[in-house]
Structure 1
Amino acid sequence: MHPPLAQSERVVSPTGRGYLLLESHPAGCARSVELMRAEVPAPEKPPARRPTALVIGSSAGYGLASTIAGLVRYGIDGVGIGFERPAGHRSATAGWYRTIATRAIARELGSDFSFRNADAFADTTKTETLDLLAERFGGVDYLIYSVAAPRRTDPRSGTTYHSVLKPLGTPYTTRNLEFADDGAAYVREVTVDPATAAATAATVRVMGGEDWSRWVTALAERGLLRDGFRTVALSYIGSPLTSAIYREGTIGAAKADLESTAVALTERLAAVGGAAYTSVNGAAITQALTAIPGIPLYVSLLRGVLGDRFPSPMEQSLELWNQLTAHRPDVDEAGRVRLDRWELSAPVQAAVAERWRSITPETLTELADIPWFRTQFRSLYGFDVPGVDYAAPVETDLPWPDSSTP
């Protein structure tokens, strides 16, 4: 007979609807981190000095990929910040389990890199994180800011701002890729009303550069900026096909604020020979992306055009580190690191636009890479990851990695 299962050990299934899954699979999340690590080439030689990095948003998306790339390829020490929910009635959030797996990589590599589960917008988080950085490292070389949040409470005013994903000026009608309960894909037309001026301003307060600037200011006030300090906030421009809801919408207003913040921060960082950049990454499947009308369909068509030439988040994050550590990063006329040139090239965009015009219920699976998109989306929650036995019970109540010891 098998021993009885612990109360928190059970078979975890991908319950939910649409793009919202209510459970995350611990083993699948851990395996996804292992697969990301496998994409990173080992360094040619150990660094003369381990650089110290602070990664805000280290538990998901490009922030996670940048953390793993930094640990494996560049030997970073430092701190990562995520904001995740522990297991309770349901499993923990996927970022909780991914952080546990990333911490294991850091320990294996001998890196003094710890993780904090905290609200990055809070002043208490800044104070406690900087205390940790000051005690262990005495300074910071890199700050990567990768935050996508639905709301932000300003600790100084107590006001809570909510971000919205809406066009500006006029309603926006588009087609969105959706999935039925049986997993079948279909396209549905959706119309989004324009944002009010107040909603646009609130979105900028959540997703713009204000909090990024406060982190840099806090580091400077504590004397923790090392000579040559560089910081980057991750951004996106995207296709003309989606510009009305993205770059020309509320989120675009926030991204424009990030870019102006980078210019202001670079002026302030001149005293330490430092610089601030925005990194315009290419498209990737993230939980934030699935909430934006039209973009899931666009990305699935983009994959249909590019196939295996579609760069992974890890490939793009490795290039981001190449640029951060370069003597002179390759930036565009606006001072932005561009990791999206592959996506926005004229031939690629023309091919995607042609498919966008040709989509019908009958041609959807021919023109868009639906199996890839669905697998990528479900893998965000630890499902459909190769090498995982989803019929086996797994422990769901796992502790957050201890940040008090290296």
Structure 2
Amino acid sequence: MAERIVRPTGRGFLLLDSHPTGCVATVEQMRVPPAGKTGPTALIIGSSAGYGLAATIAGLARHGIRGIGIGFERPPGRRTATAGWYRTIATAGLATELGSDFTFLNADAFADETKQETLDLIAKRFGGIDYLIYSVAAPRRTDPDTGTTYSSVIKPLGAPHTTKTLEFDSDGTPALRSLSADPADEAETESTVKVMGGEDWSRWIAALSDRGLLRDGFQTVALTYIGSRLTSAIYRDGTIGAAKAHLEATATTLTERLSGVHGRAFTSVNGAAVTQASTAIPGIALYVSLLRAVLGDRLQSPMEQSIRLWDQLTGAAPLDLDEQGRIRLDRWELEPAVQDAVAERWSAITPDTITEHADVDWFRSQFRALYGFDVPGVDYDRPVEPDLPWPT
């Protein structure tokens, strides 16, 4: 593919192309001072975006992890590759710079073939793993046992729900709109749990255990979210929440299964962030914009939270657990004073006052940066080569 100028095109919170240089720059912005040590072996499932990407970079730099990262990205073709493709190229370069033996696979984490390939690679190169971080957000999953493909839905449970939501018009003007959703039926809820619950996480642990690849003291963590009462009807009390509850219950089952290697499974409750997954959820864009207006730079990035997560998993810091045994990285978000301030703005906001109450400019730049746009220091009038190979 010849060099060309890449512009952001698409609608809503979905852009069709990604900017290779901008995506690389976003990874560069996530750099932290390296610890300069060789550490444990880790498998990170969902390493190309969001919290999985942050956990990969934090683990590489702060704890010298070796291992494997799995993403599922579209290669370049008629359009550019997906943003995660270019971010993985940059992360692989960082791993090489840090002297880490870290390999990236582009494959469907739900597939048994991917599990087999990954386990073979672990057995050959590392002999076992110490950590598994599970950070997968996908719209559908095919059950390897039955061949049935399940699709997730974002709906409330029990009753219809209407919420305020933030959108941007084609010229970038922010707009406050209302969005209504009918409640999910039983089949839709079960399907969402099949996709986003703990079933695939459990399959990974079983596969690793059956191959004898879990080292003594092995720990695994799946990432979850609770969030505000302002978004609970469509999130925590909705279909996604049902899936997250299943994920959290799975942690208890897995901890029992891991007793033979003195291991433990956790869920980590992370704070709100602008990610490609979160922008698809009604009301979340508005909520995060309001949260940013309240907290400013006190809003903790995925990178800051991932550093804390690794510090707790490795014993560099004590575990911060709630009464259900979940690691809590979101206490800064759910402080009563913070939530009260966000709720006040949520109630007061109107289409005419949206820029007064919410940090919409910050949100828009963060959203566009997910695709490599609006990144400081990048010349978007300069042609770039989008046909870049997956790192080997």
TM-score (normalizing by structure 1): 0.95
Matching residue of 2:34:
42
Q: Which amino acid aligns with 2:91?
A: T
Name 1:22's counterpart in structure 2: 16
One of 144, 164, 167 as aligned partner of 1:155: 144
- Aligned position for 2:380: 390
Q: Equivalents in 2 of 1:276, 1:185: separation in Å?
A: 41
Aligned counterparts, 1:195-234, within 5 A: 195-234=184-223
Specify the code of the residue in structure 2 equivalent to 1:343. Answer: E
In the TM superposition, residue 322 of structure 1 has moved relative to its aligned partner by: 1.0
Match of 1:240, SS state, is coil
What's the secondary structure of 1:227's corresponding residue? Answer: strand
In 2, the alpha carbon distance for the partners of 1:219 and 1:212 equals 11
Q: In structure 2, how many angstroms separate the alpha carbons of the residues matched to 1:9 and 1:275?
A: 49
Q: Paired residue for 2:134?
A: 145
Cα distance in 2 for partners of 1:326, 1:164 equals 37
**Corresponding residue number in structure 2 for 1:278:** 267
* Residue 355 (structure 2) aligned to one of 341, 361, 365: 365
Output one character per residue of 1:284-315: Cα deviation in whole Å (capped at 9) or x when no partner.
Answer: 00111111111110110000000111111100
> Does 2:248 align with 1:254?
no
Report what 1:324 is aligned to. Answer: 313
Distance (Å, rounded) in 2 between the aligned partners of 1:75 and 1:12? 35
Which of 279, 304, 316 does residue 293 from structure 2 map onto?
A: 304
Consecutive unaligned residues in structure 1, runs of 5 or more: 1-6
Q: Calculate the TM-score normalised by the size of structure 2.
A: 0.99
1:362 CA displacement: 2.1
Residue number in structure 2 paired with 1:3: none
Distance in 2 of aligned mates of 1:363 and 1:307: 18
Cα distance in 1 for residues equivalent to 2:278 and 2:186: 23
Q: Superposed, which structure 2 residues align to 1:96-107 within 5 Å?
A: 96-107=85-96
Residue 165 of structure 1 aligns to a residue whose secondary structure is coil
Aligned equivalents of 1:80, 1:94: Cα separation in 2:
16
Name the CA distance, whole Å, in 1 between partners of 2:309 and 2:123: 26
- State the match for 1:13 in structure 2: 7
Distance 2:117 2:297 in 1: 43
Task: Give CA deviations for 1:109-168 in whole Å, capped at 9, x if unaligned.
Answer: 111101000000000100010000000000100000000000000111100000000000
- Secondary structure of the corresponding residue to residue 305 of structure 1: helix
**Which runs of no fewer than 5 residues in structure 2 stay unpaired?**
none
Shift in Å, 1:273: 1.0
Letter in 2 for 1:42: P
- What is the distance in 2 between the residues matched to 1:106 and 1:42? 11
Corresponding residue to 1:335 among 320, 325, 332: 325
Alignment correspondent of 1:347: 337
Question: Please, which of 53, 57, 60 is the counterpart of residue 46 of structure 2?
Answer: 57
Which digits, 9 at most, give the CA deviation of each residue in 1:1-55, with x for residues without a partner? xxxxxx4310000011111101100000000000011xx2332x524xx310000
Instruction: State the 1:329 CA deviation.
Output: 2.0
Aligned residues: 391
Deviation, 1:330, is 2.0
- Aligned mates of 1:336, 1:232 — CA distance in 2: 10
Find the residue that maps to 2:30 and give its secondary structure: helix
RMSD, aligned α-carbons: 0.9
Of 107, 116, 132, the match for 1:118: 107
Cα separation, 1, equivalents of 2:134 and 2:184:
26
Distance in 2, matches of 1:293 and 1:279, equals 23
- The letter of the residue matching 1:46 is K
Identity of aligned residues (%): 72
